Each structure stands twice: as structure tokens, then as C-alpha cells.
Amino acid sequence: MDLVLVRLLFIFCVALTCYFIEPFGLPSKLDAAVGMLFGATIVIFEWRLRRVSLKRLIGAAIGSILGIFGAYLFALVIRNSIQPGHTQSFLMLMVMLLMAYVGLVVGANKGDLLNLAALGGIFGGEKQSKKSYKILDTSVIIDGRIADIAETGFLDGIMVIPQFVLRELQLVADSADSLKRNRGRRGLDILQRLQKVASLNIQIVEDDFPTVREVDMKLIELAKLYEGKIVTNDFNLNKVAQLQGVEVLNINELANALKPIVLPGETMKVFILKEGKEYNQGVAYLDDGTMVVVDNARKMIGKNVDISVTSVLQTTAGKMIFGKWDERLAPRSDSVRPVTVTPPVAPAVVVPTPEVKKQSAILAERPNE
């Protein structure tokens, strides 16, 4: 806020000076208006200049000095070859402006080749400060995991959100497709969460590259300008940025690195969710989404089983674990045992013989003792 007041005070002072001095030979009010416009132009130039790196400033200064020196040599040639007059004055002025402009632009573009760290002191710290910039792309904002990582304190420095990324998010949020619209709104909600993280410094920059059409290439150019890192989960952007020498922080690679390490021979308990592609296979998933392919587990779909890890495969899409379920080592609660039902046996019918009938009659005639 103080800087804004200083800028407004500077514009007012320039306008007031032009009002009293009348340097342009116009009425006082018109001179004041021209002075105010002139002061505003200087403030805008200063505001844009603050975003330029120290390397580019030094390169632009050196280029301007060389350009002015070259213009002086051209002016000597023009003075000796053209008669004094308006044409000579115009050519000398145009050569001066042209050489100064060319030296400024070329020196600023080539300033990135300077190695300021070799000088030490205040110049040596320039590279480290620029490394703290982290530029977010559209995919990582919509993904949402960047907010969880930021809230844990693992991200520091300045989070740079380009204006063209915000425009792309707004276009997605205003899409007629409900799925895209929800994704865009989710991205805007994630940005609000990031702004509430006290340890982060969020900056929305206006830098754009009109000659570059693709958003991914604009991100790479912006990363070169700020000497920062691109935070993304786009595989293609990751590869293209690395080919151009831009550092990338890939959220998917971070997630794969944080997955638990499983070695062959270890045992683990998984829930068989569905059958696999091969014969008698079952498929399970860990809490972090890692797929586990289990042999001999097709009949255990919908149950928890203890498996033995046989191998681990690391792919570009993530990690896959292969295991085997041994039915012989399974507990009784998990094994299926047939139950044999024995039908009831009918009581046997005994037919008495003649001797048995005779003895029964004798026992019946005896009195009870």
C-alpha cells in the first residue's frame, strides 16, 4: 500500500511541475495532463521492470551501452556524409533510438547466459532466490493433491499462478459439459484453499507470451523467465520441460515414491475385489490404489485373504504387486469344507421266535418277589 502511495505522489509531482513550468508550450492544464501521462508511463515501466530478473537487467544495461556507442559511430558517419538539416537530425535521432532499443532487447534476452553465481556476494544469491518459484499448471490445480501437500508444510517459496492458467480454469468451469464444469470449479476451490495456507506466498502474474499458443509451452517459457520449477502431474509436459532444461515437480512421481515398499516373500492381507484377466486370478487394491494380482484366489472374491508376495512391477502408471494365495495355509474360516449329512436310521423290527414267546409267558405267570 505504501508503494502505491509513493507512485501516486510521483505522478502528482510530475504533473504539478509541468503545470508551473509549461515545458511543452501548451496551456498550464494541458501541460499538467501531459506530465501526468508521462509520470504514469514511468510508473508502468517501473512496475514491469520489477518482474525482470537481475540477469536480464544487467544484460539490458550492457546491451544499451553498446547500442549507444554503436549509434555514436553511426552518427559520425551520418554527420560527414549528409548536409546539416532536418534530415540529418532525424537520421541521427533514429539511429540513436534504434541502436539503444536493439541493444536493450538483445542484451535482456542474452542476459540469462550470465553466470552471476561466480561473482559471489549479492549476485551469487540471485539464482537461489529464483529457484524458490514454483509455477502451477492447470492439471495439478484440478487434481487437488497440491493443497494437501501444501497444508502439510512440504512446499515452500512462492507459488506462481499465471493469468493464462486462470483463464483456462475459468473456461473449464464455464463448460457446457457437467463433468468439465465440476472439474473447473474444483480447481477454483483448490486455489482458495491454497490462499488460506499461511506458510505459502501465492502470486498471480500477468506475464504472457502472445507468440506462443499452447499453454504448456507458455508454462515452460514462464519457468525460464522466473528460473523456477513447474508443478504438474502431466506426463507429456514433464518430458518436454525436462528436454528444455526446466525443472519439474511431478505429483504422480511423488505419490509413487511414497507408496509402501513391499519385498518378494513378504505376507500381506488383502481383500479380493474381482477376478483377474488370467485363469484363477483375483484382483485386490491397497489403500493407496496399488493393484495387487493374486494367483489361485478367484474363488475367494469378496473375502480377506493372506497372500505371499511373489514380485513387484514398477510401471509409468504406478506400481503393481503380484502375489499368491496358498489354500493349504489358509485358516479354517477362509477355507470351504464339505459338510456330510447322515440320514436318520430307522429302528429295526425284531420278530420273536417260539422259544422267546414261551419264556415270556413263564415269566409273566410268576408272582413278583
pLDDT, residue 1, reads 54
Domain count, the chain: 3
C-alpha to C-alpha distance for 131 and 118, rounded to whole angstroms: 17
| Tens-place pLDDT, residues 299-328 | 888 888 888 888 888 766 667 889 888 777
CA 112 from centroid of its chain's CA atoms: 25
Which set of grid coordinates corresponds to residue 3? 508503494
Do the domain assignments include residue 364? no
CA 52 from centroid of its chain's CA atoms: 24
251 and 294 share a domain? no
Task: Identify whether the C-beta of residue 65 lies closer than 8 Å to the C-beta of residue 100.
Answer: no
What is the average pLDDT across 342-354? 50
pLDDT, residue 127, reads 46
Q: What is the residue type of 313? A: L
Q: Which domain covers residue 283, as residue numbers? A: 267-329
| Tens-place pLDDT, residues 122-174 | 555 544 444 578 888 888 888 888 888 888 888 877 888 888 888 888 888 88
Between the alpha carbon of residue 76 and those of residues 62, 83, 86, 101, 312, the distances in Å are 22, 12, 16, 19, 76
Which set of grid coordinates corresponds to residue 289? 490404489
252 and 275 share a domain? no
84 and 51 share a domain? yes
In angstroms and rounded to an integer, the radius of gyration of the C-alpha atoms of the chain is 41
What is the average pLDDT across 322-349? 57
Lowest model confidence (mean pLDDT) among 4-13, 69-78, 328-337: 328-337
| Tens-place pLDDT, residues 253-293 | 887 777 777 888 888 888 988 888 888 889 998 877 788 89
Do the domain assignments include residue 127? no
| Tens-place pLDDT, residues 106-115 | 887 777 677 6
- Give the whole-number percent of the chain exceeding pLDDT 90: 0
Which set of grid coordinates corresponds to residue 210? 502472445
23 and 77 share a domain? yes
279 and 249 share a domain? no
C-alpha to C-alpha distance for 190 and 184, rounded to whole angstroms: 10
Give the model's confidence band at 349: pLDDT under 50 very low, under 70 low, under 90 confident, else very high: very low
Measuring CA to CA, which residue among 15, 77, 66, 19 is closest to residue 43?
Answer: 15
CATH number at residue 139: 3.40.50.1010
| pLDDT(117) > 70 | no
Average pLDDT, rounded, for the chain: 79
Task: Identify whether the C-beta of residue 146 lies closer than 8 Å to the C-beta of residue 231.
Answer: yes
| Tens-place pLDDT, residues 78-116 | 888 888 887 888 888 888 888 888 888 888 777 767 766
Measuring CA to CA, which residue among 304, 313, 309, 270 is closest to residue 288?
Answer: 270
216 and 236 share a domain? yes
What is the average pLDDT across 198-213? 82
246 and 162 share a domain? yes
C-alpha to C-alpha distance for 259 and 133, rounded to whole angstroms: 27
pLDDT, residue 203, reads 84
146 and 180 share a domain? yes
Outline where 82-177 has alpha helix (H). 86-110, 121-124, 126-131, 138-143, 145-151, 163-173
C-alpha to C-alpha distance for 38 and 310, rounded to whole angstroms: 75
C-alpha to C-alpha distance for 22 and 32, rounded to whole angstroms: 8
CATH number at residue 295: 2.40.50
| Tens-place pLDDT, residues 7-32 | 788 888 888 888 888 777 788 888 88
What is the average pLDDT across 184-203? 86
Between the alpha carbon of residue 119 and those of residues 57, 123, 124, 127, 309, the distances in Å are 16, 6, 6, 12, 55
